[in-house]
Chains A and B, each alone.
Chain A
């Protein structure tokens, strides 16, 4: 196990290095000068004069050679200093610390929701195969996998506006400050994200449970007279959960991306909205560091998924 762990960690190091290089190059090499974008997009935002441009470039360290720029960026990131927003000069690390919990909370709630809805539906659907319930749930799964989460968000907004007065959140309310205020801001986006994920979870739970139901040990369990409820709980459920956990892990990448559009739809002040805002305003430092953050989170999630898989399934770690 420790050898597998070490191997897996060692692979993650060049990957993270590659991620930083890719972002660094994307932000600099491809169109020439990233600041040119701010300057050229003069439609109402801001136009820099040539001297101002030079000053900004120097303040961002962009007049330095690439290797020094890269070194400086890495040194900053490692020391936890992420620079500050180009427009309102707010430190980026502070913004991440304030908005990160909101985004994380929405993602976690979405995953929990997907288990609460997806696992029972998938299991029941497998157990009562070809029943009416099975057919209905399969249709539901097909539809909800296809529904874009941000559109589901818009539908939820549409509905909430009709039923009760719903307003986009104005300030960031953390769970520990005002639980109710926080939930009224996060529950609906989590629903929009979680329902699509529920469909994927249900599909996985269904096919995993079906596979387990036909295993020899299930026949043995039934043959020895074990009660059906015990067969289901002890044998089917336990064995069918492994692929479900893995699917969830793999789906988290899509969830991170989807959360960006869902947060925008609900105007939730999370990281995703910050990223989109930074991109529309061409806030250079913000884009560079937030994309890096998303990349790092994703690498770590993938690492944890791999490790949990190896932990749950001994065949992998002794390969």
Chain B
């Protein structure tokens, strides 16, 4: 097991080096760039040249890359140029990471808490009204674009009903104390329960929006997996042995059906960032998804680089954790 983990970690370093090079070259190959974004219509050949020289953009690409790697090895990704100008890109990542984790956590809780039980019951009640209705709901979850769902939910619950806030993470006038960057947790830790409650209210709509796709995927995979397991010989054997329904459900159906579901949850966690780009933008959620969208739009390369590299690293780590979980759930994996 240890050798397996070490091997995967070494592979991860290789992936990151190759990705950083490809990313660096891709960004430099794009037309336009930071200088255009900063100077806008006011650019003159002289101001453009002075800025390119100041940023080292007048040097050959390989020199720029080696300088970039040299700085990154010292933990310096360079200052942001537009998302939060002047602030170190890594600090922006660290500041916004809790926002995305908080949102993703609540979204995944919603997706799993609804997806697995509904998938299980839909499979057990196959071809009933409940099954058909659940499948339709899950199809809607996949088919409706995230931004549309976000705007629709805001229109109903924030504007028309006024129950929930339109956007952001917290009411700015609460003067909440920041400890961890997880606003709900911060409120609990500092006993500013109104701040915690306000942060929770801000989380409801974006979490539901972000949960829509993973919910649908988890629901469908759970349903399919349970249906497959129900047809297995060992279920019939268990029934014929006279095991109770509770034991069959818990030990034989759910445990076996959970294998593909666990893999799916892992992949969905990694894919959440893609969904977060739109959800965070629509809800002005100050997380990594919004930073990624803004940094691309405004050509903020330092932020773009750190967010993409970190997202890739998180994706690889989550998959490694899923593989380890897989080994825990299915003992056969451990022996391979």
Are chains A and B native binding partners rather than an unrelated pairing? Answer: no
